[in-house]
Every structure is written in structure tokens, then in C-alpha cells.
Structure 1
């Protein structure tokens, strides 16, 4: 069955919106792809010298045009339809956190940037992508695999860089509102203007988003929602002043607030799960180019994330739990870059001061990070491009680590380009993973940081809270940093001027992967968790995508990923018939495990893919899309406590989601009407609490701008 599914998906492949390493413009395909092409012709950024074209790893760029044709509202809705990217719910944070999984790496290992600067605020390691609206996004730049040579130690699995408005050429305004299923309202308002004879500009925007949430587990959850109702407000601004042709100063700020009140009743005591979340990001950037061709940039970045979560009994208003968390980052960075005839150089250095506070759990920490990096791109021949980079990252807890990356692109013919890349990654344990003691009152489980597990578990057992600590707790040690070595090898084939095929194979070797495991039982029957390093884990797979544009304005894209993510420790134990994983528990009893019993790490599907059709007919101002995404079955929960997912555990069966959207522009593109449908087949699963049923959205956009006398 898996083979037939795989073959069908490859023959009717799944689509992404663009993929793979950038290549020099060959002058082909421009005739047919201009109207719905997802890659901007200009990728310049005024507050960051790092260019996605410098990355030797596979890259992906999603443009504003594609986001509009998809009808997406939040960032998770855009990324869930890309090849090799999967959204995963964090059940421990009240299903509020939708994290990204990429090439088998979970959300903890994917760096989320806003205009080149890291965003903060993760729940159980997941950065909730649904926090980010798309109304202000100019494009999204994605790099897959270890990219630490330029982006830092948190980028073991890759980078998602959200690029906001970069250029303003005329005064204009924009207002949009959409309304639909689950009483969902998405309203945005923005305006921008140049000033001082085009020597500066200002851009301001506001977004309000509201939803009533939904319940996909009506048999078990009698009253309440599996995905919470919430409302959020986002304010964002950017301004730039050009002092000369070579010098400019840019300032940007973003403030977001989200509040939710989620009622839950499992038939015992109904309770309210309340969340108040605030996020502030500000940056100041000075950009200068001298007469020798060097471009210099200095930037200061400040971010502050705060969350206050309470659990209150509905009957009497008694507070069961309160968790206040805050994180502040102060970051200063200097960059320099220069392009020679055949050589392009970029380098930088900086430092970051981080503060963590968590009231009620004793979590408090200050930490300094420091870094320096350099990368060179050399083109000895028209058909050959070589890239190499180094980055040193250090912090006050774990010292330093030097990471290296390299890559090559070779075009032996106009219709073929070969790509290869290699990269190192490094990630230190978080303070919570080492020292946190946390009990989820609503569900009853407890998590103890690995570095204090034995001490705190004994205290809880003496107090009568812990019923039993299992023997596997003997393996818990002070956590070691995680390291990754990534390899990517692929090619891009221009079959015709209208068709392009990309194929990329990847292999990631991860040492000391930090994994959450159960190590005992509480007196209430719930789990006792902690963290442990897994010695060796590998992510390997194959990604392929195809783009075909037979007519002007019409684009077909498809993509497929084959993924295998497993622990070498488990495989070795099974093969050697010895160790902690040598046996498997079946309904008939315990027997020796075989290699086929081990499915792999949880939440990883072996097969996934997507297909997309975009159409835009400019004379009528008409645009439409139809898309599909597929995931094969994946392991959800190790119910028999083997320490790994086997065939007798809980799985989410394979499924397909369908999407469609249409838009119509009127009055010289001043008015745009939009309609979209997500999850056409109304698929839900109680193991996927954040996957809504069918969602219909309708909206209107109004563009206010001065009439131009320039011929169109």
C-alpha cells in the first residue's frame, strides 16, 4: 500500500510554490511565469546584508502574490502547503502553539526571523506561527538544513525569514476585511508614503483577528474547544531616511497582543484556560556604502515576549494554576560585505543579552551570547559557483562552538544545474530543559528538568506526589548540547521553457538530540516527564518538485517528500537483540523486536506532498487557485512504553486536505473581492485538535492611491 501511494504521488506530484537553490537567470521561462511567479526579481533588504542567494543549502521564496492567491490569513496557513513542511500542534500548551516541522526537524530547531532578527516566545519549544498575520508580509525566505554559518546556533533544521515592506514609491492606503466560519474576522488597515522627495518613507499597519475556536473531539470533550477562541491585535511600522545616496537610517517596530479564554469540560470540573500574550519587536539599522564598494551595516534589536496563563475553576472561580513567563533580548550586530568581480564577501559580529523569568516555577536566568561569522562566494567560471562559511557561537553557559558550511553549484548546460551543500549546527539546551519543574494542573502531568531530575523527583516522592520512578530514569544525565551535520545534493532541470523539475536528497546526522520521555507515574495516574540526550538520530529523505506553465498566467506546481527519521540507538538495540529496545510489547505478550517494528520518531510521516494550480487572467482582474496537501500515517503516542513508536502504538492515519480560492479586482484594481475554502472535504481527527473542519471565508479589499498619468 505504501508503494502504491508513493508511486501515485510521484506521478501526480505534489506542489510547492518554488524550491531549491537559486540559479543564475538564464533568460528562460520569463514569458509564461511573470504573472504568478513566486520569486521576486529583487531580493534586496535594507536592514540585513545576508542574502538568501548566498546560502549553499536548498532555498524557497514565497512572494506576496502567491500568499494573496492562496487566500491565507496567518503564517501557518502559508507554510503548511509547502513541500517538506508540516504543522504540528503542541498539546501541552493548550493546543495554542502550531509549530513547524521541516525535513524531519521539529520546531525547536527552526529559526524564525522577522526582517533578519530572531523572534522570541516559544511554548514547549514551538514558535506559534499562527501568531503572525500575513497582511504585512512582502515575501518569506526559507532555507532548509543546518545554516549556522550565517544564522546562528538555533538554525539546525533551517530558517524562516519573514520580510516585511521594504520599498515605498508613492502614497497609498489599503483596507481589507474578511469574515467566515467559526465567527472568524480578519481586518487590516495600512498606509504608506514617501517623503523629502523620495529620500525617505513611512509605513504603518494594523491588524485585528478574532475566532471562536472549534471542537473536533465532541465525543470526549463535552463542553469547550480543542482549539481556543482568541482575539489579537498587531501594530507594525517601518520608516527610512536616506541622508545621502550612500547612507540611510531605518527604524521598525511591531507590537502584538493575543488573549483567549478556553472553556473545557471533561465531565468532572469545568475550567477556564486563560492566556494573555504580548510581543514587542523593535530595530534600528544604519546602512552605509563607501566609495570602495564596501557595504557596512550596524543594527540594534530589542524584543520582549510576555505571557500570563491561568487555569480557573468555572464553578467557584478558584485559581488552580498560574504561569507567568517573560523573555527579553538585546542584540547588537555589525555587518560588512563587498562584491568583487568573481568574489563576494560578507562578515559580521555581535552579541546578545537574554533574560528569562518564569514566576511560580523558580525559573530565572540571564545569559550572554556572542558570535562572529564570515562567508565567501567565488565564481571561477560562468558555470561554477563555490560557497564557504564559518561562524563562531558562544554563550556564558556552554562556551563556544565553531560551525562550517560549504556548497557548490555547477551548470554544465543551460538546462541543468547541480547543487551540493554541507553544514554544521549547534544548539545548547534551554534553561527550562535543564532546571524547570512544572505541573500541568488541568492534565496532571509533571515535567522536571534533566539537570535536577534525581533531586526533585526524590523530593516529590517523599511528599507523596510521585508514585513511582521507573528504572529508565537511571539514564538521565546533565544535558549535553545538540550538534548536527547536514548534507544536501540535488539538481534543477529546465525540461522546456515552461517546465522545471528539482530534486534534492538530504541527510542530517544529529548527535545528542534532546528528547522528552516518560520516567515515572504520579499518584494521580498521570505521567512524570524529563529530558534525555539520544546519542544518534538521522533524518534522511528525498524532495522533488515540478513547475509547469503552459499558458500565460497559468501555473501548475507539485512536490513530494520521502522522509525517514529514526534513532540509531534503537536500531542498534533491535539488531543486536540487546539493550533497552530489544523487545516489543504486543497484545499477545512480549517478544523480540524486529527492524520492521520500529516506525520512527513521532509526528513524522514517511510520505507527504502537495499540488497547486494557480491561474490569473489580468484583463478581467481574475485570480484563482486550487491546492491539495497529503500526509501519510504517522506515530502519535507510545502507549506500550517501549521507548519508541511501533506498530502497536497510536497512529494518525493518512489524510488529504483540499483548498480553493478566487479573487476578482474591479475599478482599476482598487477594489478586490476574495472568497476561499479551506479543508473542502471537511476532514477532522480528534488526534489533530488544531485542524478545523471546512472553513469558508469571504472578504473585500480597497486600495486608495493617487491616479497616475503614466501609460499602463
Structure 2
């Protein structure tokens, strides 16, 4: 009898344990189905994907209570707790929302601490992977051009090096950070955003205007902060490969793994372009040939009380060259066939550690080593740079709504090259530059009430050559309600200059570099006024973001291309420079599946200079700073996981570097670079995409002057060269790549 009872209890218990149910439903966004969403039940180890219509069905779920996670690239994760206690299906419909339009986005760049974007007194613009995947690029250098007022500018038609302009100010005024660390600067500026694997980028934050009170030198014009993914939140595997009809190939992948209490994210990017193309017939490559590999590894370590500890490393190698079509490496450094060849090796280390104290004290550190081996024609430029950075800060909240930040930093730079920049005073030996730059900073973010917030900050730096540098700033935010926000800010900036590392125009072509006098550090004074308005109707949600800006520069270092066609003369400006204007961003989300982002900027960037020593200031327009420019992104989503994206940038006339008696116009024409892409999402995280870049097929005319005599061997021929033209590849305002088709595939496994 006892055996029968035991058997009965075991049978009933087993039957209860083995009872299962199911969970099913539909996943949508803006009333449209979302295909290929990953559905995860961590407790059971279940992972599956929604179908093309956003439907899902999880079978054989044992009775119990579970957390279900819904995840899709570019959309906010949704977590739901459910209880399965019936054999009939549990219906769970889910609505997902876009990451890049969420009012609760967290940003760090404006204040050096995590804060809701809507709460930040400093306006911060964000690019998410979903946005820059609408026009896939091989580097973040091109991707940031989707931000209104941010202009990736190529500076040389041969080597295709470039920099990033914010509000019309040249690249050296833009500080590029990776996870808040200033590891991209000086020698690496022109390659700063190349080779960062797109697969490890969580978002890019852009702050326009001086931020020297927090970040020090080089943050005069603005900041681009590349925030990498937290390994614990990244997909298990992600991969992206595309190829273009010009022969460009780009492969991007990342893999997450867990080792003990640590989680690792390993990323790899490989880009290759090896096709010699000369469609304009000047015997020079239209696009620089490149072979680049970048490796990235980030670790997050679990600690008690959720204290932070992360460590990341990156290595980049690149071989690029451009020049005459018959150039090969045997002509490197010769004066027979012209080519510009650049070998780059770079290593970086980044870390963040929260001290094991009751107070919130953080230590950030970084180190980077950059080696450049290059020839511009027969002119060699061999340079190495090492930058070590250490920063500790205390984050403290006080009563009365005060959020306090106090910190100290030390930046130490060692720079060496084969130019006069590192020559000894007698010119007989080499003396690498060693530049310590200690600094102290303090900031108080005071929340007066729900409508008013004030931020005050001050930084003190000491430079061994220029002495004490003071950088204050103040910002104010007024939010009368959730649909209206007004921000105003004022700040100062400074920049210590290393000319040769920043301006490759000083090396390319046939011009001689002349430094008129000892260069003093630049100073800037900046004011911004920002207004954000949100409007909701029955069929449309509208976001408006308008900003007026004004910057005044003293001691600005300028390159004079006009006085002598054979020289670039660098000097502190005897006068002042101004960057002023207004920008408008719009965000339109319709109730039907159409979303439009568009921006327009008006800028007036110029300098007032006493050119003749008479005391009379003359106005001249800044090079490569168009008065009008804009961006646009339009996305329409069809059923069955199909979407189409139209993206582009347009520019008004910009002043270009011309030679005396130059037959080429001094200002570029109006032009637009437009792109279209079609994407199809499948289940299990797979998607295919393809489209056309530069669909209007716009390319500049006459980008290189006298390409048939790149070494100026016949420049003094009065019959064939009556105007005394010299070889000059700096007449640049757009890429020489015309229309091209691209095809690609992506995969994400959560």
C-alpha cells in the first residue's frame, strides 16, 4: 500500500512539474510590426526570433514565473514578468520604442557624469548605430557627418586625410574622446575616427562649443565622444560586411564572452580598397588606396556594490597611398613618380576604476602610442607620439539640489619627428618635445527646482611654455514643462598647438612651411542659446531644436596660402576671428511608418586681420566653412521587414585655397551628396541591405593643379606656365568618388 501511495505522489508531482504552457504575441513599433526581434527567457535559456510579421510563439514553457526580454538593434529593450499557469497560450503583445528618440537617453559628455539628456543643462546631440546604419560607412569619420553642423572635411586630394569641423571651425578645435578619454589628439587627429569598429559603438555624443573647463586643451570648438558598448549589454555575436562597386570592402564583427566574473567584448574591423581609379583623367588616383585593420577588446569586471571597473585596448594598422597611377612602393620617397604613402601604427589603453570607498571617487586612465612613417612625394615625415593621461574625480550630491564634481588630471605628451619642430636650438641634434599638462577642475550642477537648473565650472591648467590657463563656464536650463526647454551657456577655451601634427597641408604638395614667430596658445570665448520644442498632433509628432552660437577667437593660428604660392606661412592672427550662426534640427514621426530627420545651419565664420600693419582690420572668410549646409534622413518602413532610407548632406558655397591668378573659382558650387538604401530584415537577427551612394554623381572639377608636374620641375617655363602655377592638391571640398552601388549583410545574435 505504501508503495502505491508513493508511486501516486510521484506521478502527481511529476505531472504537475511537467505541465507546460506557451507565450505568444505580436511585437510592434508605431503600430507597425517589427520583424526579427530576439525573445529571451534567461531562466530557461530559451532564445528565438519573431517572424517577418512580428509574431512569436514560445512553446513548452514549464509552469512558473519568468522574465521575458525583447531586444532589437536600435530599439529599447523591453522586459516583462509573466506567470505561466495554464495550458492555454498566454498572449503578450509588446510595443518597442526607438533608442535615439527616447526622452530618457543618458548622456555623459556635457557634464562628465551620467544624466538624462533632457535634464542636461548642456545640449548634447546623439548618433546611435541605428542612425548611421541608414548610410553604412567604413569609418565613423564619415558617419558623424549625419549631425547637422558637423562636417567631415578632406584636406588633401592625394592622401585623403581629413578632419572634422564643428560649426565651421577647423579640425584641431574638435576634441575626439573614446569613452570620455582624450586619446585621439595631435598626431592622430586626422585618423581619429578611422578604424573604430562600428560593432562596438553604443552611441556618439556631440557637444558644440568650448568644453575646456572639463576637458582642457583642444576642446575649443566642441567634443565628439565615442561611447563603446558595455560588454554585458552587447549581443553575443554581431557581424557586418559590405562591398561597393568601386571595390571597397569592409568587415566589422564583435563577439561577447564571459570569463568568471568578467565579461569581454572583442571587436575587429578590416577595410580594404585596392582599386586604382582615375575617372577625371588627371593621372592621379581619385581615392586613396587603403589597407586597414583594427582590433578592440573591452572588459567589464563585476565588483561588490556594483562598483565600476572596465578596461579596453585597441590596435590599428593602416597602409594608405595615393598618387600617380603608375606609382608603386619602389618609388616611395623618390622624385620620379609622385605618391603620398603613409604607414600608421597605433595602440591605445583605456581604463575606469571606482575606488572602494563610501564616496563616489573614480579614476580614469589612458595611454596611446602612435607611429607614422610617411612620404609626401620625396618629403619624409617620420613621427611618434606617446600620450599618458590620468584623472581622478569625486562625484558628490549635497543637500539643496547641488551635484558636485571635483577632480585633478595630468596629461603627459612625448612627441618626436624629423622636422624643425623637434630640432635643438642649434639645429644640430634632435630633442623630442615633452609636455606635461596638469590641471584641476570643479563643477557644481545646481537643481534649483523642477524648472530651473544652473551649472558652473572652472578649470585651471599649467603649461610649461605658456604658464597658467583659466577656463570658466556657466550654463542655465529652464524647462517650464516637458514640451519646452531653453538652455543658455557661456564658456572659454584654450588650445596649445603642435603645428606639424595637426596640418598635413604643411607636408603635402610642394609648398614650404614658414613659421613667422613663436606661436602663442589660442583663446576663445563662446556663447550658445538653445531651444527645444515638442509638438504632438493626431497624426504627427514634431521635435524642434534650434541653437544660436557665437565664438570669438584671439591668437588664432592661421595658415596664409595666398601671399606666396610656394609657401604656407603660419602666424598668430593679428586681430580676431569669429564663428557665429544658427542651426535648426527637426524630427518628424508620423502615425504611418514614415520618419524624417532634417537639419539646416547658417554659419558666418571669418577673421579680421591687420594684414599691412596699418591698424586697419580686413575681413576674410574662413576656408572650407560654407554659410549654408544641411542634413536629411527619411525612413519608410514597409510590411514584412522591408525599409527604405534616403540620407544626404548638402552644402552651399565654401571658400577654397586658390593660387594667384588661379583659373578655378574661389568658391565651390552648391552641391548635395545623397544616398538611398533598401533593407530587408529576416528572422534570427539576419538582414540584407543595398543601395546607391552619391546618386547625383557629384564630383569636384580640377582638384589638382598641374598634376603632370608634381615635383615642379618645369614650373619656371614662361611659355608653358606663364602664370607661375605650382603643383597643388589642396583645392578640395568633396570626395572624388562618384556614384557607386553597395551591398551588405548584417547579423546579430543576442
Which of the five TM-score ranges fits, normalised by the shorter chain?
0.7 to 0.9
Query: What does residue 106 of structure 2 align with?
Result: 43
Selected match of 1:323 from 381, 405, 415: 381
3-state SS of 2:246 partner: helix
Please state how far the C-alpha of 1:380 moved relative to its aligned partner. Answer: 1.2
Q: Determine whether 1:82 maps to 2:147.
A: yes
Selected match of 1:609 from 630, 633, 641: 630
Selected match of 1:254 from 314, 328, 331: 314
Query: In structure 2, how many angstroms separate the alpha carbons of the residues matched to 1:265 and 1:214?
Result: 7
Query: In structure 1, how many angstroms separate the alpha carbons of the residues matched to 2:586 and 2:228?
Result: 28
Query: In structure 1, how many angstroms separate the alpha carbons of the residues matched to 2:481 and 2:659?
Result: 54
Please state how far the C-alpha of 1:490 moved relative to its aligned partner. Answer: 2.4
Q: Deviations over 1:296-325 (max 9, x none)?
A: 11122110111101357xxxxxxx332211
Q: 1:315-394 alignment to 2 at 5 Å?
A: 320-340=378-398, 342-359=401-418, 361=420, 363=422, 364-394=432-462
Q: Determine whether 1:514 maps to 2:561.
A: no
3-state SS of 2:146 partner: coil
Q: Deviations over 1:213-243 (max 9, x none)?
A: 6657724x22x31431011000000011112
Query: In structure 1, how many angstroms separate the alpha carbons of the residues matched to 2:673 and 2:234?
Result: 40
Compare CA radii of gyration and give the structure with the larger one.
2
Selected match of 1:112 from 156, 170, 176: 176
Q: Determine whether 1:624 maps to 2:688.
A: no
Please state how far the C-alpha of 1:662 moved relative to its aligned partner. Answer: 2.3
Query: In structure 2, how many angstroms separate the alpha carbons of the residues matched to 1:504 and 1:704?
Result: 40
Query: In structure 2, how many angstroms separate the alpha carbons of the residues matched to 1:694 and 1:159?
Result: 32
Selected match of 1:657 from 656, 665, 673: 673
> Structure 1, unaligned stretches of length 5 or more?
1-30, 313-319, 452-477, 583-597, 706-712
TM-score (norm 2): 0.74
Q: 1:524-603 alignment to 2 at 5 Å?
A: 526-551=566-591, 553-569=593-609, 600-603=621-624
Q: Determine whether 1:489 maps to 2:529.
A: yes
Query: What does residue 399 of structure 1 align with?
Result: 467
Contact 1:189 1:206 (8 Å CA) reproduced: yes
Give the 3 Å change call, closer, same or farther, for CA 412–520 of structure 1 in structure 2: closer
3-state SS of 1:693 partner: coil
Q: Deviations over 1:371-421 (max 9, x none)?
A: 111111111111111111111122222122111111111122443221111
Give the 3 Å change call, closer, same or farther, for CA 114–218 of structure 1 in structure 2: same
Query: What does residue 172 of structure 1 align with?
Result: 236
Contact 2:175 2:185 (8 Å CA) reproduced: no
Contact 1:265 1:271 (8 Å CA) reproduced: no
Contact 1:519 1:529 (8 Å CA) reproduced: no
Contact 1:69 1:623 (8 Å CA) reproduced: no
Selected match of 1:635 from 629, 647, 655: 655
Please state how far the C-alpha of 1:675 moved relative to its aligned partner. Answer: 1.2
- The worse-fitting range, judged by mean Cα deviation, of 59-68 and 157-166 is 59-68
Q: What count of residue pairs does the alignment treat as equivalent? A: 604
Selected match of 1:693 from 715, 735, 738: 738
Q: Determine whether 1:309 maps to 2:354.
A: no
Query: In structure 2, how many angstroms separate the alpha carbons of the residues matched to 1:412 and 1:225?
Result: 56
Q: Deviations over 1:589-643 (max 9, x none)?
A: xxxxxxxxx66111111111122112446x73333311232100111025449xx
Give the 3 Å change call, closer, same or farther, for CA 640–532 of structure 1 in structure 2: farther
TM-score (norm 1): 0.78
Give the 3 Å change call, closer, same or farther, for CA 264–304 of structure 1 in structure 2: same
Contact 1:72 1:134 (8 Å CA) reproduced: no
Please state how far the C-alpha of 1:188 moved relative to its aligned partner. Answer: 2.1
Contact 2:156 2:505 (8 Å CA) reproduced: no
Please state how far the C-alpha of 1:526 moved relative to its aligned partner. Answer: 2.5
Query: What does residue 711 of structure 2 align with?
Result: none
Selected match of 1:99 from 148, 156, 163: 163
3-state SS of 1:620 partner: coil
Q: Deviations over 1:567-604 (max 9, x none)?
A: 2336xx89xx966776xxxxxxxxxxxxxxx6611111
Query: What does residue 676 of structure 1 align with?
Result: 691
Query: In structure 1, how many angstroms separate the alpha carbons of the residues matched to 2:408 and 2:482?
Result: 38
Give the 3 Å change call, closer, same or farther, for CA 152–634 of structure 1 in structure 2: same
Query: In structure 1, how many angstroms separate the alpha carbons of the residues matched to 2:418 and 2:525?
Result: 37
Q: Deviations over 1:239-286 (max 9, x none)?
A: 111121243422110001100233426999423332110111102321
Please state how far the C-alpha of 1:71 moved relative to its aligned partner. Answer: 2.4
Query: What does residue 226 of structure 2 align with?
Result: 162
Query: In structure 1, how many angstroms separate the alpha carbons of the residues matched to 2:655 and 2:234?
Result: 52
3-state SS of 1:652 partner: coil
3-state SS of 1:135 partner: helix
Contact 2:195 2:293 (8 Å CA) reproduced: no
Query: In structure 2, how many angstroms separate the alpha carbons of the residues matched to 1:667 and 1:245?
Result: 38
Give the 3 Å change call, closer, same or farther, for CA 51–401 of structure 1 in structure 2: farther
Contact 2:184 2:192 (8 Å CA) reproduced: no
Please state how far the C-alpha of 1:426 moved relative to its aligned partner. Answer: 0.9
3-state SS of 1:546 partner: strand
Higher relative contact order (CA 8 A, sep 6+): 1
Query: What does residue 275 of structure 1 align with?
Result: 342
Q: Determine whether 1:284 maps to 2:284.
A: no
Query: In structure 2, how many angstroms separate the alpha carbons of the residues matched to 1:285 and 1:203?
Result: 16
Q: 1:413-424 alignment to 2 at 5 Å?
A: 413-424=481-492
3-state SS of 2:457 partner: strand
Contact 1:35 1:616 (8 Å CA) reproduced: no
Q: Determine whether 1:206 maps to 2:297.
A: no
3-state SS of 2:621 partner: coil
Q: Determine whether 1:504 maps to 2:547.
A: yes
Query: What does residue 71 of structure 2 align with?
Result: none
